[in-house]
């Protein structure tokens, strides 16, 4: 699975869009980009995933560059409850089993 690189921390003003970058320059053609977040010591929560196209759901948008070497998770209107560690994970779609491998993530602090 691709190695991902994320900034260790970011701040975002409440109500503004939070844009969290992720570099995955070694990603292969059949690897998905997954985003999870962990609020304090709760269990990680799935946010969104994508392969090539941009994706949007009720929580966030995922923008993947055309060369797929990087992506950005966008929280359109950040709230204090979005303060969490955000993990970008590359995951190959392969038969059999595959497991999420968590890195250090980005600690997002939403500031009032």
Partner 1 sequence: DSGVTQTPKHLITATGQRVTLRCSPRSGDLSVYWYQQSLDQGLQFLIQYYNGEERAKGNILERFSAQQFPDLHSELNLSSLELGDSALYFCASSVEQGGYGYTFGSGTRLTVV
Place of tokens 């699975």: 1
Q: Does 86 bind partner 1 (CB under 8 A)?
A: no
Closer of 75 and 89 to partner 1 (Cβ): 89
Shortest distance (Å) from residue 6 CB to partner 1: 13
Per-residue b or e along 42-57, where b marks 16 or more CB atoms closer than 10 Å to that residue's CB? eebeebbebeeeebee
Q: What are phi and psi of 16, to 5 degrees?
A: -90, 165
Q: How many residues does the chain have?
A: 112
Shortest distance (Å) from residue 16 CB to partner 1: 27
Q: How far apart are the first and last CA of the chain?
A: 37
| Span of 2-10, 13-21, 60-68, 102-110 interacting with partner 1 by CB under 8 A | 102-110
Closer of 53 and 99 to partner 1 (Cβ): 99
Binding residue for partner 1, selected from 75, 91, 108, 110, defined by CB under 8 A: 91
Place of tokens 């053609």: 29
Sites of contact with partner 1 (CB under 8 A): 34, 36, 38, 41-46, 49, 91, 96-104
């Amino acid at each position: 699975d691709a190695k991902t690189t994320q900034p260790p921390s970011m701040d975002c003003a409440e109500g503004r869009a939070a844009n969290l970058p992720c570099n995955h320059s070694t990603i292969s053609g059949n690897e998905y980009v997954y985003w999870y977040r962990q609020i304090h010591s709760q269990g990680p929560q799935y946010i969104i995933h994508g392969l090539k196209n941009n994706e949007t759901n009720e929580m966030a948008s995922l923008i993947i560059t055309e060369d797929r070497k990087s992506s950005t998770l966008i929280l359109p209107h950040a709230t204090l409850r979005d303060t969490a560690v955000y993990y970008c994970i590359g995951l190959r779609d392969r038969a059999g089993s595959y497991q999420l491998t968590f890195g250090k993530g980005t600690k997002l602090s939403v500031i009032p």
